[in-house]
Structure formats: structure tokens, C-alpha cells
Amino acid sequence: MLKPYHPDHFPWMKSLIIEGAGTGVYDRSLRLPNAEIAFFRGLQIGLRTGHVHGPDGRSELLHAHLFYANENSKKPCGFALFKGEEQSQMVEFWMASISPGYRRRGFGFQLFKEALNLYGNRIIIARCNKGSDVAIRMLANLRFIHVGTGNSEGTVFLTSPNTPQKLFDEMKRLFAA
């Protein structure tokens, strides 16, 4: 069950992201003190304002969702973050995680499925580190299509099945270059 983000849960989200950086699910540099401080300061501001700034300085909308195991749960067991430009038909499935005690019990797949359903017919892209085997497998089970793998950082790019063929071909062309 998805519910809107609440700032009280930021320390918990941060701990899941740091844990994921340690296992390679997220960028390992997030464990470095300076990168961690800058990233989490930006994330905390983004969660409060609903906007994050990309590397090129552009502002993007940030949507945060907390996932609860059931309607009676007092604490979330997972989260999902999406970002995208305001008027765009495309949104990026940016980050997601499930607490260790809830893993391997179907909650991750349920979180992905519910979160993706929020965006209806919008095109959804996902970038996963190569170490994110579980996320890549879950997205494939939700019919996401492999677009390509980045050369420098080993990032796997996937897109939702409703991506128009022309856009998909352009994405593939960019990876072939």
C-alpha cells in the first residue's frame, strides 16, 4: 500500500540508500562523506520542495512514495522515488528500496507494481546499476524492455512497454554510438 512521503521517514530512507550504495545497488560513491553530504542534502531539500536539480542544473519534479506492507502497518517497509520534467510524458523511476526484514517476500514486486501504476500511460524509464539484479529482474517481469548498458558506469537502461517505437529506436541508437 502506497502513501505519500513524510519527512519523519527521511533518516530511515537515508539508511536504506546508504546500505544499497554499499552493495552496489546505488552508486557506491554515496558512501563517501562528501558525496553523501551533498547528495542527501539535495535529496532532503527535493523531498521538501518537490523539485531536484539534475547535473545540468535543470529542475525536475520529485515524487516520493512510502510503501506499507498492509493498511494496518504503522511504519513503511519501502519507498519509491520518481522524477521528471513538469510537462513531459516521460518519468524516471529513480530509486526504490525495501527494508531488509521485508525482502524476498514479494513486497518489492508489489511496491514496483503499485508505484508504476500511479503514472498510467506515461513513459517510464529506469536506470539500474549492474549490481541491481533484483530490480532489473522485477522490471523485466513488469514487461520493461532493455534499452542498453552504459559503458563507463555499467548502468542498465530500461523503458516501459508503452514507449513509442520511434523513441525506443532513438534510445537504442544512442547506446550503439
* Res 36: pLDDT: 73
Under the banding of pLDDT at 50, 70 and 90, the label for residue 118 is confident
Residue 64's alpha-carbon distances to 5, 96, 116, 145, in angstroms, are: 5, 10, 12, 24
How far apart (Å, rounded) are the C-alpha atoms in residues 127 and 104?
Answer: 22
Greater confidence (55 vs 147) lies with: 147
Greater confidence (146 vs 175) lies with: 146
2-176: CATH superfamily: Gcn5-related N-acetyltransferase (GNAT) (3.40.630.30)
How far apart (Å, rounded) are the C-alpha atoms in residues 18 and 13?
Answer: 9
Q: Taking the CA atoms of the chain, what radius of gyration do you get in angstroms? A: 16
Under the banding of pLDDT at 50, 70 and 90, the label for residue 170 is confident
Q: pTM, whole model, 2 decimals? A: 0.86
**CA end-to-end distance (rounded Å), the chain:** 41
Asked if residue 12 has pLDDT above 60, the reply is yes
- Under 8 Å between Cβ of 25 and 131: yes
Asked if residue 28 has pLDDT above 90, the reply is no
Under the banding of pLDDT at 50, 70 and 90, the label for residue 69 is very high
